[in-house]
Amino acid sequence: MLEPTPDGPAEHLAHRLGATHPARVFLATVVAGFAALVGMTISAGLLLTELLVPVHGFEKWDNDVNRWLAERRSPALTDLSWLGSTVAGGLVIPVVVGVLVVVFLLKRKWLLAAFTLFVIGVESGSYRATTLVVERDRPPVHRLEGLDPTASFPSGHIAATVALYGGVLLLLSSWLHRRWFSMLAVCLTIALALFVGWARMYRGMHHITDSAAGVVMGLLALGIVVLAARAATAAANARDARRKDAT
- Residues 133-150 have pLDDT tens digits of 999 999 999 999 988 899
pLDDT surpassing 80 at residue 116:
yes
Burial of 99 (0-12, 13-18, 19+ CB in 10 A): exposed
**For position 230, what pLDDT does the model report?**
92
Domain annotation covers residue 75: yes
Task: Please indicate, yes or no, if residue 28 is contained in any of the structural domains.
Answer: yes
How many domains, the chain? 1
pTM: 0.92
Structural domain boundaries enclosing 93: 17-239
Q: Is 144 helix (H, G, I), strand (E, B) or coil?
A: coil
| pLDDT tens column, 156-200 | 999 999 999 999 998 888 887 788 888 898 999 999 999 999 999
Q: Has residue 4 been placed in a domain?
A: no
Strand partners, 136: 151
Residue 136 has phi, psi (to 5 degrees) of -135, 130
Q: Which amino acid is at 96?
A: V
Between the alpha carbon of residue 96 and those of residues 33, 51, 148, 176, 230, the distances in Å are 24, 38, 24, 21, 23
Answer whether residue 11 is part of any domain. Answer: no
> What pLDDT, on the 0 to 100 scale, is given for residue 8?
86
What value does the mean pLDDT of the chain take?
Answer: 91
| Residue 178 maps to a domain | yes
* 49 lies in some domain: yes
Dist CA 60 CA 82 (whole Å): 26
Task: Decide if 62 is inside a domain.
Answer: yes
